A and B are shown apart, each in its own frame.
Chain A
Amino acid sequence: MSSSAANPRTLFRKVWDAHVVAEGRDAPSLLYVDLHLVHEVTSPQAFDALRAAGRPVRRPDLTVATMDHNVPTLDGPITDPLARDQLEALRRNCDEFGVRLFGTGSGREGIVHVIGPELGLTQPGLTIVCGDSHTSTHGAFGALAFGIGTSEVGHVLATQTLPQVRPQTMEVRFEGDLPFGLTAKDMVLAAIGQLGVSGGRGHVVEYTGAAVRALSMEGRMTVCNMSIEAGARAGMVAADDTTFAYLEGRPGAPQGAEWEQALDEWRALRTDDGASYDDSVVVDVTTLKPQVTWGTNPGMVLPVDGVVPDPGDYDDPEQREAVERALRYMDLAPGTPLVDVRIDKVFIGSCTNARIEDLRTAASVVAGKRVAAGVQAIVVPGSARVKHQAEEEGLHEVFESAGFEWRRAGCSMCLGMNPDILQPGERCASTSNRNFEGRQGAGGRTHLLSPAMAAAAALTGHFTDVRELG
């Protein structure tokens, strides 16, 4: 296999080129979609539009739906009538249009970005879309995956394509070996801190470097998941043996001779030597420390041994004002060490960090210890399968005997569309991906960190370098 092709291309470009149905001159290109993931929140208006126009779903065989954003994580029926109506609308729409639904109680339901990979539908080289910005998660498999709006959901349902202007490419190279005790979440938070929340705008990012190759699929998904938090359209990691080992034997993955053929194709899906990116950024992880956000966007992030910044240190008036606003919202004083910041709640969950490896890591931190007095800590597995597997491994008992609540799968407190929300003024250590104002509940204050760091904060009641826990 030669990687020094005459016309060297990036991984992104290979996947893009293979999916162009029609090249655009004055118009955007028409891009074919291999997998369309659907959930209850961003789809009802799209199905309504299909119905109104009398259009069918073009490829129900390439479409799959789940229930995640709205579902309660405690046992018992849904009490919120609006949430119930929205979930019922999805069930009705899937029935009517012949779309496969993994609904609540199916045993396969879960956060849309957890179940796609789990089912083996997320595969190298595919184009994947979903009415959800964290669709970038699926790029961990070397797929081109990006979030779309509801009108586009309707467009894909009706045509299996999307008009798209080809994005730029950016390489984010993680250099060096990740120190012991650090995780993919620390890597991606540090990268966003460096790039800023709009540094990736208009770009598809490819993550490269030894530290990325060393990550498990779960870790790669965590990194790609947060691409959108740097403003990027998508994130990708070239597939390798780690990818193939994860995929082999999963329900949607190719079998037998088709598997062998797929492997040949997938191995060629990497950036050729000599191919160039429109932009390149290097993130050195050699001396990386656990990361914690202090502000109201994911780029406002510091190592855990840092102190809350002083607006006066910023020359740019716009930045100064943004920092002032963030500190006011977060109720933090400049100069406060992050380790002195006390928390009220801990949320271990979301499509960023609620896969089995995340739960194992957090469980290993809390095993035999107790959640600090006054702290409410919950663990929400990313899917029904993750929950099941964790229970087989006894992780739920580890969490529960440490004082954590063990919940049913869903998006939960990542965005608080279900009853799991922060009260005004409450401060939360969260493994999710967004610390925007009110994200987890109006007036709530969110600090993003890794599952290990969230577990450590639960035990001490304040941010703590997990590596220093006795």
Chain B
Amino acid sequence: MRPLPSVTGSVAVLDRADVDTDQIIPKQFLKRIERTGYGEFLFFDWMKDPDFELHRYPGASILVSGPNFGCGSSREHAAWALEDFGFDVVIAPSFGDIFRTNAVNTGLAPIALPAEQIAQLREAVDAVNELTVDLERLEITSTSGLRIPFELDAHTQETLVHGLDDIARTLMREAEIDAYEATHTARFDTRALPA
């Protein structure tokens, strides 16, 4: 996963609540067994509408949307599609729990901000559409002098900034997993189930 210490770019606004992962990437594209190449299918059905908001923001790397973004299905393809399309950051008042984790594991920064701050941010963007999202300093700034701090837990921040592989980090704690397993007998062996 690529490191993401800081992102400077333009903003796309998708002003809707409860954008679900079925909209972000519809089911017909989940049959592919690759992890890349989903960007062209992002918001597939909505993109067919010439008035769809995202058409107004070519080249944007920061997506701003409404509450509960990424609710619904666990498909990580939603995060892959956003990232592959060119987004590095999604800013919303809140996220679906599974989407949030998937985004982090994809190197797409999910940043939760209160609605009032998102309104401020949109105002700044209306004047000059460029923001910097600094994941090391945990703040969003604009050339007009806007400065909005945000929160990320240390683990998430570290993962995103350095592009860390979570599995490698967990495997460093293998001795603890061994110790846990030594005191916990499994209830079944799936391989021994009858045909």
Interface residues of A in 420-447 (CB under 8 A from B): 434, 436-439, 442-443
The answer to whether B27 touches A149, judged by C-beta atoms less than 8 angstroms apart, is no
**With A149-B105, A439-B22 as contacts: A123 and B187 at CB distance below 8 Å:** yes
Interface residues of B in 34-79 (CB under 8 A from A): 34-35, 45, 66-68, 71-77, 79
The answer to whether A154 touches B167, judged by C-beta atoms less than 8 angstroms apart, is yes
Q: How far is the CB of B36 from chain A (nearest CB, A)?
A: 9
Interface residues of A in 121-158 (CB under 8 A from B): 121, 123, 126, 131-133, 147-152, 154-155, 158
Interface window among B3-11, B13-21, B119-127:
B13-21
Q: How many residues of B contact A (CB 8 A)?
A: 59
* B73, B74, B194 interface centre (most CB from chain A within 10 Å): B74
* B30, B76, B96, B97 interface centre (most CB from chain A within 10 Å): B97
Query: Chain A interface mostly helix, strand, loop or mixed?
Result: loop
A89 at the interface (CB under 8 A from B): yes
Q: How far is the CB of B85 from chain A (nearest CB, A)?
A: 18
The answer to whether B177 touches A160, judged by C-beta atoms less than 8 angstroms apart, is yes
A394 at the interface (CB under 8 A from B): no
Q: Please name all residues of chain A whose beta carbon is closer than 8 Å to the beta carbon of B67 when the two chains form the complex.
A: 198
A176 at the interface (CB under 8 A from B): no
Q: Please name all residues of chain A whose beta carbon is closer than 8 Å to the beta carbon of B27 when the two chains form the complex.
A: 415-417, 439
Q: How far is the CB of A219 from chain B (nearest CB, A)?
A: 23
A381 vs B75: C-alpha distance in the bound complex, in angstroms? 24
B136 at the interface (CB under 8 A from A): no
The answer to whether A62 touches B186, judged by C-beta atoms less than 8 angstroms apart, is yes
Shortest Cβ distance from A26 into B: residue: B154
Interface residues of A in 94-111 (CB under 8 A from B): 98, 100, 106-108
Task: Work out how many contacts link A and B, with CB atoms closer than 8 A.
Answer: 196
The answer to whether B17 touches A165, judged by C-beta atoms less than 8 angstroms apart, is no
The answer to whether B102 touches A149, judged by C-beta atoms less than 8 angstroms apart, is yes
Q: How many residues of A contact B (CB 8 A)?
A: 85
Binary A-proximity of B96-120 (CB < 8 A = 1, otherwise 0):
1110011001100000000000000
The answer to whether A45 touches B154, judged by C-beta atoms less than 8 angstroms apart, is no
The answer to whether A86 touches B33, judged by C-beta atoms less than 8 angstroms apart, is yes
A80 at the interface (CB under 8 A from B): yes
A85 at the interface (CB under 8 A from B): yes
Interface residues of B in 150-195 (CB under 8 A from A): 153-155, 166-167, 170-171, 173-174, 176-177, 180-181, 184, 186-195
Binding site for B on A (CB under 8 A): 21-22, 24, 26-28, 30, 32, 34, 41-42, 44-45, 48-49, 53, 55, 58-64, 69-70, 80, 82-83, 85-86, 89, 98, 100, 106-108, 119-121, 123, 126, 131-133, 147-152, 154-155, 158-161, 163, 165, 167, 197-198, 201-202, 228, 231, 233, 251-252, 254, 262, 297, 318, 322, 325, 415-417, 434, 436-439, 442-443
